[in-house]
């Protein structure tokens, strides 16, 4: 009988249920406790008519809990079956306040699953259900933000009231819903809370962090500026303040309070004597990223130029004439036309193109090799290789342009302007390259004592000596 009842619940067949009840009037009273009742099955499968019939015949089934501590209302709320939820709360409205073994009420499950209709119905029948916390101390607002349920959040705010202070409830870590929204970078939720509730914008969590502190300590994001503007417009401020510090290599030296007035005189001079090394690291990181992008682009262009040279390739073999006699200039399909018609020009073209290709691949290899090449001198070497690649690619372009220009156009005005432009650009590259070579040579001479170091401006130390720190 129990198996037949279970099958009827799986199918949601009301006639099968009525037939079983006719044959066995007390079959519903024999369902063992701490297991899924037919009402649990109907709730999770959404059989509203079957559930309504069960509740009519045996209302006490609504209060039965399964092995997970879930009532049929928990399952119906998670499933989003509003009709079954209405039937269950009509029988016993207190079911909306019951925790399951995970410490969640039916409303909490509706929030997590994003069941707007279910949450609205449960809060309408028992308004205090919207204020029940999870056993972990989280409110429904916290669950909305953690699970990205913005529409449900608006329903809860409407049920609790925009002027209610419950929105400022703190979870086990002391975080309000605003802390959680800022940590998850939910700009829409943040603006809604600031505009439509009495959220405390400067509330502190267990670590003493305000919402603005959480933003400043979180991972950088494109929405940070908008979030910061919204918080500051609402009067947000930081509570955690760091003491001024001076960077020496990798060590940070905290500046005593008594020296802060003295150091304020030098703040405009190179920002506390030395720029933080983190800025140099950031600069090198940006350079490395830029080099990787440009090198990848050059390698792609050079590869395409090699397999698709100017004039393309022969489309068929040409070894004999129509009479079967060998031709003077035979060629095979797939070979470069330029190699046959302009062999010397083709040689220069391939040399410059290969140089650009290998130079760019060298940069990519150095960047992905994992070698400790994060100092400025290694970055300079990579920049030199990049100049070689760019110059070689320019030469490739110029040679290809010469080959593709018809003979009658080579004496024209536009052709000469193009020639001069390319030559001027290559001369500029040479000047830049020469300037950096001179700069590197001077650095080496200073390092090994062959040239005096650049004199230091004593006026910077008129207040105190750096060694005094």
Asked if residue 256 has pLDDT above 50, the reply is no
Last residue of a domain, one of 357, 381, 404: 404
- Give residues with Cβ within 8 angstroms of 69, minimum separation 6: 99, 100, 101, 102
Strands (DSSP E) found in 159-276: 245-248, 251-254
| CATH number, domain containing residue 15 | 1.25.40.20
| pLDDT tens column, 17-55 | 888 888 888 788 765 554 789 999 999 999 999 999 999
* Residue in 144, 125, 132 with CA at minimum distance from that of residue 103: 132
The two structure tokens encoding residue 467:
């060694």
180-187 mean pLDDT: 93
Q: Considering the domain boundaries, does residue 395 fall inside one?
A: yes
433-443 mean pLDDT: 78
Asked if residue 247 has pLDDT above 50, the reply is no
360-383 mean pLDDT: 75
Domain that includes residue 379, residue range: 281-404
Which residue blocks in 202-342 are alpha helix, DSSP H? 211-217, 224-233, 260-264, 277-307, 337-341
Q: How does residue 455 score in pLDDT terms, banded at 50, 70 and 90?
A: low
pLDDT greater at residue 122 or residue 282: 122
Q: What is the enclosing helix (H) or strand (E) of 2?
A: helix 2-11
Q: What is the per-residue pLDDT for 282?
A: 54
Q: Considering the domain boundaries, does residue 155 fall inside one?
A: no
Last residue of a domain, one of 404, 436, 458: 404
Q: What is the per-residue pLDDT for 326?
A: 78
Q: What is the DSSP letter of 313?
A: B
- ∠ CA 88-95-72, rounded to 5°: 55
Q: How does residue 254 score in pLDDT terms, banded at 50, 70 and 90?
A: very low
* Residue in 12, 1, 462 with CA at minimum distance from that of residue 266: 462
Q: How does residue 368 score in pLDDT terms, banded at 50, 70 and 90?
A: confident
Percent of the chain with pLDDT over 90: 37
Last residue of a domain, one of 404, 422, 455: 404
Q: How does residue 86 score in pLDDT terms, banded at 50, 70 and 90?
A: very high
**Whole-angstrom Cα distance, residue 165 to residue 190?**
16
Lowest-pLDDT choice from 41-45, 64-68, 363-367: 363-367
Whether the Cβ atoms of residue 53 and residue 14 lie closer than 8 Å to each other: yes
Residue with tokens 């086990």: 172
pTM over 0.85: no
| pLDDT tens column, 284-302 | 667 777 778 888 888 898 8
Q: What is the per-residue pLDDT for 275?
A: 42
pLDDT greater at residue 253 or residue 199: 199
Query: Contacts from 376-382 at CB under 8 Å and sequence distance 24+?
Result: 376/280, 376/284, 379/284, 379/287, 379/288, 380/436, 380/440, 382/291
Asked if residue 331 has pLDDT above 80, the reply is no
**Whole-angstrom Cα distance, residue 262 to residue 461?**
12
Q: How does residue 374 score in pLDDT terms, banded at 50, 70 and 90?
A: low
Q: Considering the domain boundaries, does residue 315 fall inside one?
A: yes
Q: What is the per-residue pLDDT for 283?
A: 56
**Whole-angstrom Cα distance, residue 133 to residue 246?**
47
Q: Considering the domain boundaries, does residue 343 fall inside one?
A: yes
How buried is residue 39: exposed, middle or buried, by Cβ count under 10 Å (0-12/13-18/19+)? buried
Q: How many domains does the chain have?
A: 2
Q: Considering the domain boundaries, does residue 226 fall inside one?
A: no
Q: Mapping DSSP to helix (H, G, I), strand (E, B) and coil, where does residue 111 land?
A: helix
**Whole-angstrom Cα distance, residue 411 to residue 100?**
89
Q: What is the per-residue pLDDT for 31?
A: 56
Q: Considering the domain boundaries, does residue 463 fall inside one?
A: no
Q: Considering the domain boundaries, does residue 186 fall inside one?
A: no
Q: Considering the domain boundaries, does residue 198 fall inside one?
A: no
Task: Give me the chain's average pLDDT, please.
Answer: 80
Q: What is the per-residue pLDDT for 203?
A: 92
69-87 mean pLDDT: 94
263-278 mean pLDDT: 41
């Amino acid at each position: 009988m129990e198996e037949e009842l279970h099958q009827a619940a799986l199918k949601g067949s009301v006639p099968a249920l009525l037939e079983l009840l006719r044959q066995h009037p007390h079959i519903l009273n024999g369902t063992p406790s701490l297991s899924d009742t037919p009402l649990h099955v109907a709730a999770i499968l959404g059989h509203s008519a079957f559930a309504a019939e069960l509740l009519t015949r045996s209302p006490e089934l609504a209060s039965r809990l399964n092995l997970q501590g879930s009532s049929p209302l928990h399952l119906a709320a998670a499933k989003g079956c509003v009709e079954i939820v209405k039937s269950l709360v009509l029988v016993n409205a207190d079911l909306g306040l019951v925790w399951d073994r995970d410490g969640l009420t039916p409303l909490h499950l509706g929030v997590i699953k994003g069941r707007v209709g279910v949450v609205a119905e449960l809060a309408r029948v028992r308004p205090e259900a919207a204020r029940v916390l999870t056993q972990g101390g989280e409110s429904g607002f916290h669950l909305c933000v953690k699970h990205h349920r913005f529409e449900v959040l608006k329903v809860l705010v409407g049920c609790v009231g925009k002027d209610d202070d419950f929105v400022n409830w703190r979870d086990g870590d002391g975080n309000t819903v605003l802390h959680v929204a800022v940590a998850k970078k939910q700009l829409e939720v943040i603006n809604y809370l600031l505009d439509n509730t009495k959220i405390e914008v400067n509330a502190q969590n267990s670590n003493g962090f305000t919402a603005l502190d959480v933003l400043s300590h979180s991972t950088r994001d494109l929405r940070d500026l908008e979030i910061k503007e919204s918080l500051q417009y609402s009067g947000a401020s930081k509570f955690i303040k760091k003491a001024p510090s001076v960077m020496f290599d990798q060590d940070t030296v905290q500046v005593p309070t008594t020296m802060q007035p003295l150091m304020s005189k030098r703040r405009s001079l190179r920002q506390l004597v030395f720029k933080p090394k983190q800025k140099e690291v950031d600069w090198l990181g940006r350079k490395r990223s830029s080099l990787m992008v440009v090198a990848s682009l050059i390698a792609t262009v050079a590869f395409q130029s090699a397999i698709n040279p100017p004039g393309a390739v022969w489309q068929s073999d040409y070894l004999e004439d129509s009479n079967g006699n060998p031709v003077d200039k035979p060629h095979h399909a797939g070979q470069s036309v330029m190699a046959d018609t302009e062999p010397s020009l083709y040689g220069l073209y391939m040399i410059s193109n290969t140089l650009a290709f290998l130079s760019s691949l060298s940069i990519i290899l150095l960047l992905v090799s994992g070698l400790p090449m994060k100092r400025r001198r290694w970055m300079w070497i990579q920049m030199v290789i990049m100049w070689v690649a760019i110059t070689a690619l320019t030469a490739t372009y110029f040679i290809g342009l010469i080959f593709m220009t018809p003979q009658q156009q080579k004496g024209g005005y536009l052709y000469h302007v193009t020639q001069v432009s390319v030559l001027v650009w290559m001369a500029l590259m040479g000047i830049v390259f020469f300037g950096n070579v001179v700069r590197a040579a001077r650095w080496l001479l200073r390092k090994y004592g062959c040239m005096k170091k650049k004199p230091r401006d004593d006026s910077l130390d008129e207040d105190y000596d750096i060694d005094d720190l």
